[in-house]
């Protein structure tokens, strides 16, 4: 495949060339019937075919009888190579939202993921001639990259990078992956962000229960660890002060009562010994 990249094309001020065209037409009108009249008429017609208008943040890739001759990026009323055909390409930022794609994550769980891709055309010639439809090319490659990256990570994890916990790293990897695929089309990726991330409906309820169970387990672990710390502090206090001489059996009872009190979901009820 022939690789084409931007290069400057002939572009002159359109109003200046318009004045010249009017002058040629005026001379031809004065010399009606003269031998120069047909020549001036042909010249005027040729000049007319070179006028073009380009809006801000647009470029026009020109071809002359099938051959690429350059790209005009200057905006305004311009005159370029006569009989050339221009393919207008916007250079402004464009947002593309992928569909909510269904993918299996690293652990095999079916998830739904979607992303927004912010991109722009940097090379109008590459976008026009290196791919069939650069917008469709961006869309297809974006969805392919999102699927590939989503399959490399678990949905959620406490020990490794995950789609839910490492969104910044995932977005950076998506930018790198997409840029490598879209550079041939003259596309620059400005930003990629995940806009939708959820378990697939068929397992969403089960995974929610699993997340709740893990949260309860973590909370219990936190309570027990801190309760043991408090028990250690209490026992060290009694031993340092020597206020009460506690036997090993009594220590076990005190530790048991403290742990029950500190980790129980219900309010503690004091037991008063009267015997």
pLDDT at 231 over 60: yes
Enumerate domains of the chain plus CATH numbers. 12-89 (no CATH), 94-199 (3.30.479.30), 211-263 (no CATH)
Residue range 8-20: mean pLDDT, rounded: 94
Residue range 152-167: mean pLDDT, rounded: 86
Look at 123-127, 138-142, 218-222 and tell me which has the smallest mean pLDDT: 218-222
Cα separation of 181 and 178, whole Å?
5
pLDDT at 135 over 60: yes
Q: What's the pLDDT score for residue 213? A: 63
Q: What's the pLDDT score for residue 215? A: 67
Using a 10 angstrom Cβ sphere, with 0-12 exposed, 13-18 middle and 19 or more buried, the burial of residue 51 is middle
DSSP secondary structure, 79-128, as one string: E-STT-EEEEEE-S-EEEEPP-EEEE-TTS-EEEEEEEEEEEES-HHHHH
Average pLDDT of the chain to the nearest whole number: 85
CB atoms within 10 A of CB 105: 21
Strand partners, 8: 71
Look at 80-94, 143-157, 250-264 and tell me which has the smallest mean pLDDT: 250-264
pLDDT-based confidence at residue 272 (cuts at 50, 70, 90)? very low
pLDDT-based confidence at residue 155 (cuts at 50, 70, 90)? confident
Residue range 153-157: mean pLDDT, rounded: 86
pLDDT-based confidence at residue 184 (cuts at 50, 70, 90)? very high
Three-state secondary structure of 200-245: CHHHHHHHHHHHHHHHHHHHHHHHHHHHHHHHHHHHHHHHHHCCCC
pLDDT at 268 over 60: no
What's the whole-model pTM score? 0.71
């Amino acid at each position: 495949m022939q690789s084409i990249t931007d290069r400057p094309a002939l572009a002159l001020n359109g109003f200046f060339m318009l004045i010249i065209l009017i002058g040629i037409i005026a001379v031809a009108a004065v010399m009606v019937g003269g031998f120069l009249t047909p020549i001036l008429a042909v010249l005027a017609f040729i000049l007319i075919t070179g006028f073009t208008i380009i809006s801000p943040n647009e470029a026009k890739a020109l071809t002359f009888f099938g051959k690429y001759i350059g790209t005009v990026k200057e905006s305004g009323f311009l005159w370029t190579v006569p009989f050339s055909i221009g393919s207008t390409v916007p250079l402004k930022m464009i947002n593309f939202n992928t569909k909510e794609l269904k993918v299996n994550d690293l652990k095999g769980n079916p998830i739904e993921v979607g992303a927004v891709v912010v991109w722009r055309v940097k090379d109008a010639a590459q976008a026009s001639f290196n791919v069939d439809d650069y917008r469709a090319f961006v869309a297809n490659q974006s969805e392919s990259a999102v699927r590939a990256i989503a399959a490399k990570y678990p949905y959620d994890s406490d020990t490794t990078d995950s789609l839910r916990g490492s969104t910044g790293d995932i977005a950076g990897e998506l930018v790198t992956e997409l840029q490598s695929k879209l550079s041939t089309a003259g596309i620059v990726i400005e930003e990629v962000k995940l806009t939708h991330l959820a378990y697939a409906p068929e397992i969403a309820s089960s995974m929610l229960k699993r997340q709740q169970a893990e949260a309860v387990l973590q909370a219990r672990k936190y309570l027990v660890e801190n309760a043991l710390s408090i028990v250690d502090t209490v026992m060290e206090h009694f031993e340092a002060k020597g206020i009460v001489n506690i036997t090993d059996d009594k220590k076990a009872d005190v530790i048991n009562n403290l742990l029950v009190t500190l980790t129980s979901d219900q309010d503690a009820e004091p037991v008063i010994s009267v015997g």
